[in-house]
């Protein structure tokens, strides 16, 4: 089984989108980011079945919460989290070791979230 800390962020090149990883005391995360914002998937250090998808926006958006300290974009930003998104869209790919598909799905989520076209249709 793959975990987010073992995924090769260079496995997929998407022009205008940067993939990077971070680790905290409680979780591993993988981020797709550009000037429009970032989408982060994360899972617990000890159980990759427990995770979420977190969108980070530099601008206010409907149904997004203001965060006082954004660990991805820095400063005051806006965010929205989805636990079912992780469970249904990402966990099966992570569990099956499909690293390139995890990155592609993350890029698609970024496109859908920020209405950009980093991924060709």
pLDDT in tens, 22-78: 999 999 999 999 988 999 999 999 999 999 998 888 887 777 778 777 788 887 788
Q: For residue 39, what pLDDT is reported?
A: 94
Q: What is the pLDDT of residue 119?
A: 45
- pLDDT score recorded for residue 66: 80
**E runs forming strands in the chain:** 18-23, 27-34, 37-44, 51-57, 65-67, 77-82
Average pLDDT taken over every residue of the chain: 87
Q: Where are the domains of the chain?
A: 4-114
pLDDT at position 1 over 60: yes
Residues 70-92, mean pLDDT to the nearest whole number: 87
Antiparallel, parallel or unpaired: β 18-23 and 65-67: unpaired
Work out the widest C-alpha separation in the chain, in whole angstroms.
Answer: 37
CA dist list (Å): 115 to 9, 70, 82, 87: 22, 21, 18, 23
Q: What pTM was computed for the model?
A: 0.87
């Amino acid at each position: 089984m793959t975990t987010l800390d073992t995924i090769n962020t260079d496995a997929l090149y998407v022009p205008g989108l940067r993939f990077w990883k971070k680790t905290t005391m409680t979780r591993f995360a993988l981020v797709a980011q550009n000037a429009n914002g970032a989408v982060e998937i994360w899972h617990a250090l000890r159980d990759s079945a427990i995770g979420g998808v977190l969108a980070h926006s530099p601008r206010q958006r409907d149904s997004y919460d203001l965060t006082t300290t954004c660990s991805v974009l820095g400063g005051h930003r806006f965010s929205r989290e989805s636990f079912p998104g992780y469970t249904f869209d990402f966990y099966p790919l992570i569990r099956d070791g499909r690293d390139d598909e995890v990155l592609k799905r993350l890029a698609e989520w970024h496109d859908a979230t920020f209405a950009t076209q980093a991924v060709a249709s």
